[in-house]
Amino acid sequence: MSASSRCSRTRSVPRILKDDRSLDDAARQLDQYFSGSLQEFSLPLDLRLSTEFRRQVQLELGHIAYGRTQSYAQVAEHIGKPKAVPAVGSACATNPLPIVLPCHRVLRTDGSLGGYLGGLDVKTQLLKLENPEFDGGEATLF
């Protein structure tokens, strides 16, 4: 970890801890998402600790519509790096905001789940929350 990364993290944590209301809107929107009444988050995001490539991928994740999926290859295409499919998977795996920037909506090209830091059961439940027709990972991309 570089000195600048450590310094950024050190500055970020006290800002959050000093204003305990700073996460109220995020908590409210997450509650609404899990209750099925919110389909798109509107939160200020700070992705400064992500590399440029990972930031591109993570921001692209926010463009995948609720209840829809894309393949890792499609995400790579959308960011203009069609050969970077494994790197897209890595960026999804290190996504610091996995519900807000919905990496669970990214599947393998064959429609199977791929991976998910929270586990494949969680990925399946998130996809079923958004699209009850999702059949657990052997589906066609929708």
Supply the pLDDT for residue 18.
57
Give the C-alpha separation, 114 to 127, whole Å.
Answer: 13
- Find out whether 81 and 57 touch, Cβ atoms under 8 Å: no
pTM for the complete prediction? Answer: 0.80
> Dihedrals φ, ψ of 2, to 5°?
-75, 160
SS3 111: coil
Q: What is the chain's length? A: 142
What local confidence, expressed as pLDDT, does residue 134 receive?
87
Per-residue pLDDT tens digits of the chain, which is 142 residues long: 444 444 444 444 455 455 566 789 999 999 999 999 999 999 998 898 899 999 999 999 999 999 999 999 999 999 999 999 999 999 999 999 999 999 999 999 998 999 898 899 999 999 999 999 887 655 444 4
Single-letter residue type at 48: R
* Active-site option among 103, 106, 126, 127: 103
pLDDT at residue 138 in the model = 52
The per-residue pLDDT for 20 is 62
Q: How far is CA 60 from CA 7, 9, 40, 54, 120, in A?
A: 27, 24, 14, 10, 21
Task: Indicate if 7 belongs to the active site.
Answer: no
Give the distance from CA 78 to its chain's centroid.
15
